[in-house]
Structure 1
């Protein structure tokens, strides 16, 4: 019984420590447009769902709009759109590209990665496959601490800009799911050299 209590206490303290680390990254590396460092390689837009008609969901639209603002301020030279590309009928990256080009993004400055099946994959591939060393990340505030933590742990000098521009459906569910993902990715980035096969 004593060992069980000790184990449970260890698990609780470990989880709290992990959340504390993410909180530190949130305070230190999430900034607004005026505070963003200048002359970064790229802004990374992390994918989200698309609608049956092929357009981005509201969360994704706002991530793209935020990235376009950063690009048009001249802070970064390229825009990396990363998400899931299954086939012609479901492609987050082509939906993202079609949407963001309305904001005066030069097509030559858009990079597509259709293997961004999850946050870890997206960030890992930006470093490993695309050789990105300095990046700004555009995603929702609840999502940014994990994305930034992954990036900095694998050697990407990353800052985050929150893309929350409105109220979103099912946000309470997303935040709960994010807590589990934070624990998973903490162990993944520290104790695994996972690479997704192409």
Structure 2
């Protein structure tokens, strides 16, 4: 009976230890590359804005979205980046994160030629790797909340890309942090064991040379 209980204990202990170690590893690795203050950020040619839904279930603005748009606006207007890649999910006809971000930023006064749409940012990993392999950026700024920025920086830098991040204001929802705990563990696996690649790559885009208009 003792051996059985001991076996059950280790079955539960090992996954818990992996979750904790992977989360701490990503947080520790990324801490020197994640910025709270836009004024302190080194300049980069491109900012990568990670997509999310504009609205919450039941109606109303998603504040994660709102604060990301504000952070992206500030980074561009303060001259920290020259262009913004708007990367998000476009897997359904009625749900298009990049287009919604573009519409919001245009209303805020960002010129259309400064906005580049990435329709295949289905996951943080996809967005981060595509910014390098599709959009040709070896050094860029990620814009999202801190919890996601930590993952993005970890994924990018482990793949040899000079990624830094600007933290947008955080609405601090407990359910998001619980989900993030598992997302960091998945990112750790993707980078260190599975060597996961984006769902789609595609033709390369030269930012600043030949932007396509996406009105």
TM-score range, shorter chain: 0.7 to 0.9
CA distance in 1 between counterparts of 2:30 and 2:12 reads 27
CA distance in 2 between counterparts of 1:60 and 1:25 reads 26
Q: How does 1:158-173 map to 2 (within 5 A)?
A: 158-164=163-169, 167=171, 171-173=173-175
Matched residue of 1:135: which SS? strand
Cα pair 1:116 1:122 within 8 Å, conserved: yes
Q: Which residue of 1 aligns with 2:125?
A: 120
Q: How does 1:75-90 map to 2 (within 5 A)?
A: 75-90=80-95
Q: How does 1:9-158 map to 2 (within 5 A)?
A: 9-31=13-35, 32-38=37-43, 40-51=44-55, 57-158=62-163
Cα pair 2:87 2:117 within 8 Å, conserved: yes
1:32-57 superposed Cα distances (whole Å, 9 cap, x missing partner): 2121012x0211110001339xx963
Structure 2: 5+ residue runs without aligned partners? Answer: 202-215
Q: Which residue of 1 aligns with 2:190?
A: 188
Cα pair 1:56 1:99 within 8 Å, conserved: no
How big is the alpha-carbon RMSD for the aligned residues of Structure 1 and Structure 2? 2.5
Could you tell me how far 1:7 is from its partner in structure 2? 6.1
Report the number of matched residues.
193
CA distance in 2 between counterparts of 1:128 and 1:88 reads 26
Could you tell me how far 1:92 is from its partner in structure 2? 1.0
Cα pair 2:19 2:182 within 8 Å, conserved: no
Structure 1: 5+ residue runs without aligned partners? Answer: none
Structure 1's 56 and 105: CA in aligned 2 closer, same or farther, altered over 3 A? Answer: farther
**Which protein shows a greater Rg?**
2
Structure 1's 89 and 17: CA in aligned 2 closer, same or farther, altered over 3 A? Answer: closer
CA distance in 2 between counterparts of 1:105 and 1:71 reads 8
Output the TM-score relative to the length of structure 1: 0.86
Is 2:177 the partner of 1:175?
Answer: yes
Structure 1's 107 and 180: CA in aligned 2 closer, same or farther, altered over 3 A? Answer: same
Cα pair 1:83 1:116 within 8 Å, conserved: yes
Output the TM-score relative to the length of structure 2: 0.79
Runs of 4+ in structure 1 off by over 6 angstroms are: none
Matched residue of 2:47: which SS? strand
Matched residue of 2:141: which SS? strand
